[in-house]
Chains A and B, each alone.
Chain A
Amino acid sequence: MHNKTYGQLVEKMHEVSLLPPQNFGRFSGLYHHFVPFLKESPWKVLAFAALFAGLIFYVLFGDKTIRLTSILQLGF
């Protein structure tokens, strides 16, 4: 148990020595609150974001969206 904790500590120190943690001043708390959602299984957040972006896109551009997807489909 002690060795495991020590190993994790050494690993963390090594990480920090290579890459200093992000600093957002007074927004750091907010950043550290949201970032775990992107570190592990971000696809859940991405799926919602994609759905939302798709919806906004459709609201803004209406039927032009369909023309855009037709053009995109020719893009491979």
Chain B
Amino acid sequence: MQRINRWIVIFILVFLKNAWGSVQYPYRTLRRLASGSVLWEALPVGFFTMLYLIWTTVARNGISAHPLFLSFNLLKLTFAVVITFIIVVYSFVVVGRLLGGTGSVKTVLVPWAYSLVPTLVWFLVTSLLFFLFPPPRTLAWSGKLLSGVFLVFSWFLFFWKGILYYLTLRFGMRLDFFRILLASVILFPLGAVYALILYRLGIFRIPFI
């Protein structure tokens, strides 16, 4: 039990250190994470993602829903997130190599795992806001204010994610700026089609990428 507690504390500290680093010193942090020698540091992200998935399953379906139904939904969501993560990592490696990059799954996996931090923050805050200030927003000044704050907050996380995406390809696949642009031209339409498929399947309304 003591060992488990120690691991949980280590997980939390490593996660906080890297998450803070990804917004305060993204260049230095992602360069270290893309070295390929700290693969285990992706585990805390998996741990916190799992906690979020449990929370969102309960939040979406209600605590009083049948445990079997909740378990099925949690499994479905977890499967979709894991598969999406694997597909994205392999897409980066394949497209990166096609464009002359020299990275591998080992060098892309950890930095991309930490790019899930802004995603997690957005989904968590959005789900909490759903209960604190349930939509739809109104045209009253309070509705406009909350919409404005939410929009600016979303843009902030979107740009943060953009930086982490760029640095993942830069350090993970060792691509230069123009090759990253080219990779994005290939990856973004594929990502959009994939997101549409998941939306049609009723798994994500907004893709957890």
Asked whether A20 lies within 8 Å of B26 as measured between CB atoms, the reply is no
Q: Flag whether A51 is at the interface (Cβ < 8 A).
A: yes
Contact of B147 among A24, A47, A50, A66 (CB under 8 A): A66
B209 at the interface (CB under 8 A from A): no
Which of B151, B156, B176 contacts A65 (CB under 8 A)? Answer: B151
- Report how many residues on chain B are interfacial, defined by Cβ distance under 8 Å: 44
Prevailing SS type, chain A contact patch: helix
Question: Which stretch (B10-18, B62-70, B123-131) binds chain A?
Answer: B123-131
* Bound: A53/B159 CA distance, A: 10
Q: Which A residues between 1 and 58 are near B, CB-CB below 8 angstroms?
A: 15, 18-20, 22-24, 38-43, 46-47, 49-51, 53-54, 57-58
Docked pose: A68 CA to B150 CA in angstroms? 11
When the two chains form their complex, are residues B171 and A69 in contact, meaning their CB atoms are under 8 A apart? Answer: no
Contact of A50 among B126, B127, B155 (CB under 8 A): B155
Interface size on A, residues (CB 8 A): 35
Cβ contact within 8 Å between B159 and A49: yes
Q: Determine which of A23, A41, A58, A74 lies in contact with B148 in the assembled complex, contact meaning CB atoms within 8 Å.
A: A58
Q: How far is the CB of B168 from chain A (nearest CB, A)?
A: 13
Please give the residue numbers on chain B whose beta carbons come within 8 Å of chain A beta carbons, in ascending order. 23-28, 31, 56, 59-60, 123-124, 126-127, 129-130, 135-139, 143-144, 146-148, 150-156, 158-160, 163, 170-171, 174, 176-177, 205-206
